[in-house]
Structure 1
């Protein structure tokens, strides 16, 4: 299913650092069967660490085709600003059971609840205790890696900030995830509730996660803002080695590989020529060039067996803006 976020004007972007959303993504990937690219090593560690009650609490997230859940899965919303894991866990542990029941009714209506959530509604205190415990268990595994991600998160803050100041939010929105498509009408997000949402005058709050490459979580119903959580660029490098910071503003905006690719295409050239020049595998060149084409920064044209790429006028203006050639 696809959810559509209809955008009619340049959106206002902000960014929230909310590690609880990372913990939720890890729980969904490791325990709920929603595999989104988390390495097996970490999935197995989570499965072994989380208690039996925690496994039971996460089980509703595993229902086939069910993308919606109660708001209390993320008690301190990213749209309210940064939220520490300590604050999120405190909010979960102090949450009255009737809050869970109200959130379930809001998420699924006043009719019969989906079967996977009925036991939670019948024993809300037990569910909240199990879910809070599962989040805490996951965080005990994820926290060291999260601390190592500081450079990546700082780079992402800079990237979003540059896009906001320079007036190019579509460059950020179009490169959040392969599961998020930036169209003329707005954003289409794969795997959510399948509904249509109008952004109107609301803000878009971006929430970088340290998660598998296909992980996306979103809240599109807020009155003042919507939030979209996505893998922080470069997250995959952290599973094996620390990340390095970006080297300039253009790299902070679109990532160092795509910035260098865009600069390398000073004249039309074939994909194979570009791969050889950049010393990058053809599959990686294809992936990054597709993202640049989606952002309307390059063109691709097949001539016989070769695919030729060239910069667009939009790309030339962007490079001029950042003084990169």
Structure 2
């Protein structure tokens, strides 16, 4: 059964956060979600396109990386080992020495080499060549989608930046992904080798991923930076192959999303939940979800009055609306 690794953040006021637009994280998520059997929520037509482009031996080549109940990928073959462009990683991968791979496997598994890596150890050069070819093919197939996401990625950078400047980082962390768990001082991420980690003064790099709505990859072992890959908001625009919405959004919308920004603005006067749902043109369940997320971030309060639940903005939420007006 899959558990959660916990990243203990400490005081959010002390967290240094940045957004990194890193195509390597998207390439890894895309590979894991289409050919690795991991639940990244990639839409069916994208999966079909990737599978159709992949060489016939793709499943065999990737087996060591994505064996069930196992999530270790050696740094020398991971597209996320550095924050470089995916093309640069592919060039390095093509020149990877078998000795480098074997040495890293020995360091990673000092006691006993897992069975799935045994064929790689027996023919390391052949495996590196097959893996490098596979990753190059997948990236060439998906690279146009990454470029189409450019305006959405830049908008996400602005959204997180606005929240950080306004000291409302919790509004971002609360809603990174439905698969994550944010408690206020820690962030839980789905992990087959669940463990606890401390941010401990390191920079927190948020990496939006252009693949599926269940994307979740991260690295907690770097000395200076912890990075977390999460689904890029508004991915549906790309999934549907429609034109991107380039209408400039105001800072509150960029920080909270359109629905929650609307709720926070109108909740300065007390509203019932049915009024919120009507305002958003949404179901009662959707309105409840958005209000619950705002409440978890300390921006909204829900109170029962007789048969009705009413919502109103908190002083903290009021200050955020004024700041980002």
Corresponding residue for residue 51 of structure 2 = 47
Corresponding residue for residue 63 of structure 1 = 67
Corresponding residue for residue 99 of structure 1 = 100
Partners of 2:58 and 2:170 in 1: CA distance:
39
Measured against aligned partners, the alpha-carbon deviations of 1:290-315 in whole angstroms (never above 9, x if no partner) come to: 32222222233456765433322221
1:56/1:130 contact within 8 Å kept: no
Measured against aligned partners, the alpha-carbon deviations of 1:140-199 in whole angstroms (never above 9, x if no partner) come to: 221222111111001011112223333333322222112222224321112352111111
Corresponding residue for residue 135 of structure 1 = 135
Query: Residue 203 in 1 paired to residue 203 in 2?
Result: yes
Structure-to-structure mapping, 1:1-325, within 5 angstroms: 1-9=3-11, 10-75=14-79, 77-78=81-82, 81=83, 83-107=84-108, 109-240=109-240, 241-245=242-246, 246-301=248-303, 306-323=308-325
TM-score, normalised to structure 2, is 0.90
**Secondary structure in 1 aligned to 2:71?**
coil
Aligned residues: 319
1:32/1:58 contact within 8 Å kept: yes
Distance 1:270-1:40 versus aligned 2 partners, 3 A rule: same
- Structure 2: gaps spanning 5 or more residues: none
Measured against aligned partners, the alpha-carbon deviations of 1:54-90 in whole angstroms (never above 9, x if no partner) come to: 3322223432222232223435535xx4x22210111
1:212/1:236 contact within 8 Å kept: no
Shift of 1:221: 0.3
For the aligned residue pairs, the C-alpha RMSD in angstroms reads: 2.2
Distance 1:189-1:76 versus aligned 2 partners, 3 A rule: closer
TM-score, normalised to structure 1, is 0.90
Of stretches 307-316 and 231-240 in structure 1, the one that deviates more from structure 2 is: 307-316
**Secondary structure in 2 aligned to 1:140?**
helix
2:27/2:79 contact within 8 Å kept: no
Measured against aligned partners, the alpha-carbon deviations of 1:214-235 in whole angstroms (never above 9, x if no partner) come to: 1110011001111111111111
Partners of 1:302 and 1:141 in 2: CA distance:
53
Partners of 1:304 and 1:74 in 2: CA distance:
56
Partners of 1:282 and 1:99 in 2: CA distance:
56
Of stretches 212-221 and 89-98 in structure 1, the one that deviates more from structure 2 is: 89-98
